[in-house]
């Protein structure tokens, strides 16, 4: 009987050793660490014309990531949905990701108080190809977004206060620098407070400046008051850049600018209305 008992004990011991060894082989692998990211809102010079900002996204972790999509929510702004991206961001690297900020939720008289921007990105890594959603509260240390909102709402208000448009009767003159068009910017006050017209400027394809041939150029160009609410400003337009590359790339050929202000305050540029007669005349200087 004793030998039999010793054999049973040895067998049980063997089973225990095999079971313990099997448990060691089944240990789960460690999960990849989540991406470590930080974001700051900036704006480059080219972004101002394109009405967008840049998200300076920094990879503060040890693992390279690829950004699949970007969305920025800014209280006080109306913007669209996520924008697809395919942007690698290496460890310690900073990559600027463009984002169109949309429209500002302007009040009747002032801009909104802009809240903290929240950046949402979808990313993956080489170690973890599954898409992950990362939400970040972005920095805006310079107050850029509030300045954008203030400017947008001021321009929106001035557009309600002053009507600007080109008269559609233009006189074409052939000169040594090509066809020069002589015309008029019409300004009409729509509020009961004075406004000043101080400057005009052209678009990329067409130049625009005060017409010196019509007489001395006033400074400011016009002062609109409730007593004298209308003004006619002589201007001349000409081809500024009429090469095939510019013609092929131009998106807004008629984005002329006229600067308006309240007396003694900063002037802001507004785009005057452009009628079909003005468009036809401009094509005499640069056809496209």
Considering only CA atoms, which of 207, 274, 260 is closest in space to residue 235? 207
Measured between alpha carbons, how far is residue 113 from residues 19, 76, 265 in Å? Answer: 66, 7, 21
User: pLDDT 10s per residue in the chain (288 long)?
Assistant: 444 444 333 333 333 444 444 445 555 666 777 899 999 999 998 898 889 999 999 999 999 999 999 999 999 999 999 999 999 999 999 999 999 999 999 998 889 999 999 999 999 998 889 999 999 999 999 999 999 999 999 999 999 999 999 999 999 999 988 999 999 999 999 999 999 999 999 988 999 999 999 999 999 999 999 999 999 999 999 999 888 888 787 778 899 999 999 988 999 999 999 999 999 999 999 987
Q: Which domains are seen in the chain, by residue range?
A: 37-142 (2.60.40), 160-285 (2.60.40)
- pLDDT, residue 287, reads 84
- pLDDT, residue 234, reads 98
**Distance (Å, rounded) from C-alpha 194 to C-alpha 200?**
19
**Distance (Å, rounded) from C-alpha 129 to C-alpha 88?**
13
- pLDDT, residue 100, reads 96
- pLDDT, residue 104, reads 96
- pLDDT, residue 19, reads 45
Contact 201, 256 (CB under 8 A): yes
- pLDDT, residue 201, reads 96
Contact 288, 247 (CB under 8 A): yes
**Distance (Å, rounded) from C-alpha 244 to C-alpha 250?**
10
- pLDDT, residue 28, reads 61
DSSP 3-state percent helix, strand, coil across the chain (nearest 5): 25, 40, 40
Contact 41, 53 (CB under 8 A): yes
């Amino acid at each position: 009987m004793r030998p039999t008992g010793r054999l049973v004990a040895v067998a049980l011991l063997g089973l225990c050793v095999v079971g313990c060894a099997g448990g060691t082989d089944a240990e789960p692998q460690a999960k990849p660490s989540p991406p470590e990211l930080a974001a700051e809102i900036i704006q480059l010079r080219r972004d101002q014309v394109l009405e967008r900002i840049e998200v300076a996204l920094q990879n503060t972790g040890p693992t390279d990531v690829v950004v699949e999509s970007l969305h920025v929510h800014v209280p006080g702004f109306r913007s669209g949905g996520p924008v697809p991206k395919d942007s690698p961001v290496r460890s310690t690297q900073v990559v600027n990701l463009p984002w169109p900020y949309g429209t500002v939720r302007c009040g009747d008289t002032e801009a909104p108080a802009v809240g903290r921007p929240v950046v949402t990105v979808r990313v993956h890594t080489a170690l973890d190809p599954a898409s992950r959603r990362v939400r970040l509260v972005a920095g805006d240390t310079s107050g850029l977004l509030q300045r954008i909102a203030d400017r947008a709402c001021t321009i929106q208000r001035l557009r309600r206060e002053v009507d600007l448009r080109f008269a559609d009767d233009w006189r074409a003159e052939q000169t040594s620098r090509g066809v020069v068009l002589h015309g008029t910017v019409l300004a009409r006050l729509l509020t009961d407070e004075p406004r000043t017209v101080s400057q005009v400027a052209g678009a990329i394809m067409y130049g625009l400046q005060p017409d010196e041939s019509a007489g001395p150029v006033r400074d400011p160009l016009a002062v609109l008051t409730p007593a004298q609410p209308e003004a006619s400003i002589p201007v001349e337009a000409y081809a500024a850049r009429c090469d095939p590359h510019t013609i092929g790339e131009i998106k807004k050929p008629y984005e002329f600018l006229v600067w308006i202000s309240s007396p003694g305050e900063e002037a802001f540029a507004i785009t005057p209305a452009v009628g079909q007669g003005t468009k036809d005349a401009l094509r005499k200087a640069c056809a496209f």
